[in-house]
Structure 1
């Protein structure tokens, strides 16, 4: 892999005293963002699924490394009530919620005419509707404190399309639209809302895809990376979770107070085509 991950210990402590909730943060992109926010001094609420012992280890390691308070909720964000309860739990625990990162998401790939209706419903519920429900529940507290940062993790597929990903592309385009509406409605309340639109990001799930494709097609892993996974990504390199985390910290900081309603590609030039 041709990238040098950022060191979390180089992130300035710009978010001390803040409280951040990151959905879908027990692994992958969400965990990378949560760790970056913690490195910047924010208390963290983790959310997602996984083995209890693995989640406990992630929680303990984050506390030990960054010295911030870290809580966890297993809320199932396919359900509107659970999303609202997650916000309520955060407010009950910390008294405020400053930074909301809507990252939870799932994927399913199939042609439109055979795309299962239940998969469509689930992807829309988790990838799009959950962000509506958490934002709706978080805004009253953010308005009360006259501060809020909402960061929606969209995708390059929030800006362009690919075949066989109808539900995912529809949901991510919806996230970009929701981001713009939220930004307009909160513009006078010192609340910003932006979308990050990653291309391929290196995570354990992507590594498993590399290995699986290499074995299935009997080709070298570097060929899988360049010609299969990164075919649309001109840089021919993955983004790292640390890069997305650093951008999230910036968007959550006072330095980004005038940036709102924007969809920011982190895609190595994919959407520049």
Structure 2
């Protein structure tokens, strides 16, 4: 994929959830580099990377699973042409060892936030006859994850929801697509490797055809493309950035 120029997204306003660190931070910086105005939300805004903090992006502290807070934030900072639902969290435990309170939290953050943000942003997109919704799911939502059953269920829900929104919103000129990362080198993954050791790292690498971890920027490049005019005929798609995981 050829990287678009610095004005590919000029005049567009984007809302990125979970934009302070990891994949979200890379997405924020990539959208900015292509000319978009960017507002990002993060529940731990004080932990945002230095690059994002120093950028032109507007950061807001927000629990994106809080429907009312999301609606208020979108009303204050919108309308938006681009929505990137990236916020999420994982849990590593076998299902029989998990608790209903943990299920509720995982579903709220990984799926509920996608519903809340889309519900808040979509009406203005439809009125404007333009919109790009890009939801960050996971390969776990397509192939499952041992020790991540509820997370996988939530991400599978994101995929199904996105396809439904694509059907509902197409007549308004709004596209909706899913990006499914595999093992990407983020602070959360590095913390898991630190706890699990070299064996876990090798297992992650070996689960891909390319035998390596992905970089956040590799996800961000696809997101920026899907947000651009060049992707105007792409909707209801689920596109992996996973080095061939699951093939």
- TM exceeding 0.5: yes
1:22-44: CA deviation from partner (whole Å, max 9, x where unpaired): 00111001111111001001111
**Cross-structure match for 1:37:** 31
What is the aligned counterpart of 1:28 among 22, 25, 36? 22
Q: State the partner residue of 2:61.
A: 74
Once the two structures are superposed, what CA deviation does each residue of 1:81-132 show, in whole Å capped at 9, x if it has no partner? 12222221222xxxx2000000110111222222111110011001001111
Q: 2:73 aligns with which of 51, 70, 86?
A: 86
Q: Structure 2 matches for 1:181-220, cutoff 5 A?
A: 181-214=164-197
In the other structure, the counterpart of 2:210 is 235
**Paired positions, count:** 246
Distance 2:64 2:242 in 1: 26
Structure 1 residue ranges without an equivalent (≥5)? 1-5, 64-69, 215-220
Q: TM-score, normalised by structure 2?
A: 0.93
Whole-Å separation in 2 of the counterparts to 1:179 and 1:47:
20
Is 1:166 aligned with 2:149? yes
CA distance in 2, matches of 1:43, 1:267: 28
**1: CA distance between counterparts of 2:41 and 2:210?**
32
Maintained 8 Å contact 2:85/2:114:
yes
**Aligned equivalents of 2:29 and 2:189: distance in 1?**
19
The offset of 1:190, in angstroms, is 1.2
Tell me the TM-score normalized by structure 1: 0.84
Do the aligned residues in 2 keep the contact of 1:128 with 1:175 (CA within 8 Å)? Answer: yes
1:162, 1:152 → 2: CA distance?
19
- Structure number with larger C-alpha Rg: 1
Give the secondary-structure state (helix, strand or coil) at the position aligned to 1:250. helix
Q: What residue ranges of structure 2 are gaps of 5+ in the alignment?
A: none
